[in-house]
Amino acid sequence: MVKADFSRSDQALLEAASATARKLADAGHTVLFAGGCVRDALCRRPVKDIDIATSARPEEVEAVFKGRSVSVGKAFGVIVVLCGRYQFDVATFRNDGAYIDGRHPEQIHFSCPEEDAQRRDFTINGIFCDPFSREIIDYVGGLADIERGIIRAIGSARERLEEDHLRMLRAVRFAAVMEFTIEAQTWQAICALAPRISRVSVERIAKEFVRTLCEAPQPSIALNMLRESGLLVQFLPEVVALYGVEQPPQFHPEGDVWTHTGMMLDGVEAPRDPVLALGILFHDIGKPVTYSYQAHPKTGEKRIRFMCHAEKGVKMTGNIMSRLKLPNSLMVAVQELVGHHMRFIDAHKMRRATLRRLLGLDNIHHLLELNRLDSLCSNGDLSGWEFAVDQFEALKDEPALPPPLVTGRILIEWGFKPGPQMGLLLKKLYDAQLEGQLTTLEHARKMLRLR
């Protein structure tokens, strides 16, 4: 008899889940651990949360946990039970009726564990375990698929993916995160139905995608699956466009922009910070549209160039991330990485004030890491990165950037008009301050030729 192994999991979580299950069992109900927790325990991974499935109807669950339950998902037979600092989804065994909108079942019927297993998405997610003996109850062949490393839809793959299109992205995520392969029929169904992913809300798509990017040991494999299946082009055509974009071989012996981007993502250990992961994904997003083959204006050297691709990339990143309804704060941070990713090339020539500002950016740690990977995954020249890290270390002992001596308000008091000119003036004055040439307001008035 195979048992689930929860030894790598939070034991307090496990105890709370077992105590919750015990209360239901004592009231005469069948109760099982279900879904992701059983899968992760069988893979000897730490489980993050524990889902409980039971024969008790939602009202019966509420009666057992009087005052300690929340009935948000009651229509789907799910009651949230609170237990100390933990909470558990307690779901009545059910079978889902016909699906209406490619995402939700029209009706649900309460039923038995066998049928409850059948309504789940993939065999690896359809296994139950006894909460007390930890013995496995497997109606769908999930254990064998875990052993073989296979993601397989339960029942007819085509039907399961037609019911709920988000399952296509879930299949890729589970395959990438667990380093499993997608079984042939499931894969074929994904390829056939890929365009339908656009019927799923962008929020859900973005959530699955960002999780995949942040959690997969090798995101390049996930990106290849997403591109080859035809899923990626539905929500990130700009990323698909990186595929096949040639780069000058002397700087990029690794190959096209797609390969380069995937290598960089693989170079960061999971779990990745979404700022860094998306920063890498989008850092060269401006390359396909700025591609040119031309001579250098001064040296005359002819080669592939991507003029102003970082600036273009910032705009594109903004468009993409707004379209995917990702949080604004995340977008601003990612744009910072994209916009500044080329700046370390001439860091050694920078004026001190400019360098200080660059190294004072909010996301400088991510930017430095992105730069290191950018070099490592191309020609391997780390000199720009090393210089920046040395400077960063040296600057640490200096006080933080001082507030600007001259502000917009002061300039207005002095008779200047707000506008782009004033912005330039403020930058010039602040640079002078950082260089040590401007120490008083008197000084500033002199520089501006005011009396």
Residue ranges binding ligand ATP (CB under 6 A): 35-36, 51, 120-121, 125-126, 164, 166-167
Q: Which is nearer to Mg ion, 125 or 378 (CB)?
A: 125
Q: Which is nearer to ligand ATP, 166 or 411 (CB)?
A: 166
Q: How far is CA 183 from CA 38, 148, 186, 187, 265, in A?
A: 21, 10, 5, 6, 25
Cβ distance 431 to 440 under 8 Å?
no
Residue labelled with tokens 């430095």: 368
H-helix or E-strand spanning residue 359: helix 352-359
Q: DSSP character for 437? A: S
Span near Mg ion by CB under 5 A; candidates 36-44, 109-117, 119-127, 157-165: 36-44
Q: Give the CB-nearest residue to Mg ion.
A: 36
Q: How far is the CB of 33 from ligand ATP (least distance, A)?
A: 11
- How far apart CA 342 and CA 375 sit, in angstroms, is 11
Residue labelled with tokens 């059983």: 38
- How far apart CA 53 and CA 17 sit, in angstroms, is 11
Q: How far is the CB of 211 from Mg ion (least distance, A)?
A: 11
Q: Which is nearer to Mg ion, 36 or 274 (CB)?
A: 36
The tokens of 197 are what?
Answer: 């992913």
Residues in a beta bridge with 96 = 108
- How far apart CA 206 and CA 401 sit, in angstroms, is 36
Given ligand ATP, Mg ion, none, residue 260, with its beta carbon under 5 to 8 Å by kind, binds: none
DSSP string, 124-165: GGSEEE-TTT-BEEESSSHHHHHHHTEE-BSS-HHHHHHH-T
Q: How far is the CB of 298 from ligand ATP (least distance, A)?
A: 54
Span near Mg ion by CB under 5 A; candidates 5-13, 33-41, 53-61, 273-281: 33-41
Q: Which is nearer to ligand ATP, 50 or 326 (CB)?
A: 50
65-124: contacts with Mg ion (CB under 5 A): none
Given Mg ion, ligand ATP, none, residue 219, with its beta carbon under 5 to 8 Å by kind, binds: none
Q: Which is nearer to ligand ATP, 108 or 426 (CB)?
A: 108
274 lies in the binding site for Mg ion (CB under 5 A): no
Q: How far is the CB of 143 from ligand ATP (least distance, A)?
A: 14
User: Which residues, other chains included, contact 297 with Cβ-Cβ below 8 Å and sequence gap of 6+?
Assistant: none
Q: Which of 36, 73, 102, 274 binds Mg ion (CB under 5 A)?
A: 36
- How far apart CA 284 and CA 245 sit, in angstroms, is 11
* Count of residues interacting with Mg ion (CB under 5 A): 1
- How far apart CA 128 and CA 89 sit, in angstroms, is 15
Q: How far is the CB of 92 from Mg ion (least distance, A)?
A: 18
Q: Which is nearer to ligand ATP, 173 or 366 (CB)?
A: 173
158-197: contacts with Mg ion (CB under 5 A): none
Q: How far is the CB of 91 from Mg ion (least distance, A)?
A: 12
Q: Which is nearer to ligand ATP, 36 or 255 (CB)?
A: 36
Span near Mg ion by CB under 5 A; candidates 26-34, 35-43, 69-77, 317-325: 35-43
Residues in a beta bridge with 305 = 292
Given ligand ATP, Mg ion, none, residue 166, with its beta carbon under 5 to 8 Å by kind, binds: ligand ATP
- What Rg, from alpha-carbon coordinates, does the chain have? 28
Q: How far is the CB of 13 from Mg ion (least distance, A)?
A: 12
Q: Which is nearer to ligand ATP, 177 or 338 (CB)?
A: 177
- How far apart CA 168 and CA 219 sit, in angstroms, is 16
Given ligand ATP, Mg ion, none, residue 167, with its beta carbon under 5 to 8 Å by kind, binds: ligand ATP
Outline where 4-135 has alpha helix (H). 11-26, 36-42, 58-64, 113-118
Q: How far is CA 24 from CA 29, 56, 81, 221, 222, in A?
A: 6, 8, 11, 43, 40
The tokens of 424 are what?
Answer: 């330039």
User: Which residues, other chains included, contact 108 with Cβ-Cβ below 8 Å and sequence gap of 6+?
Assistant: 76, 77, 94, 95, 96, 97
Q: Which is nearer to ligand ATP, 36 or 274 (CB)?
A: 36
Q: Which is nearer to Mg ion, 44 or 446 (CB)?
A: 44
Q: How far is the CB of 17 from Mg ion (least distance, A)?
A: 13
Given Mg ion, ligand ATP, none, residue 121, with its beta carbon under 5 to 8 Å by kind, binds: ligand ATP
Interface residues toward Mg ion, by CB under 5 A:
36
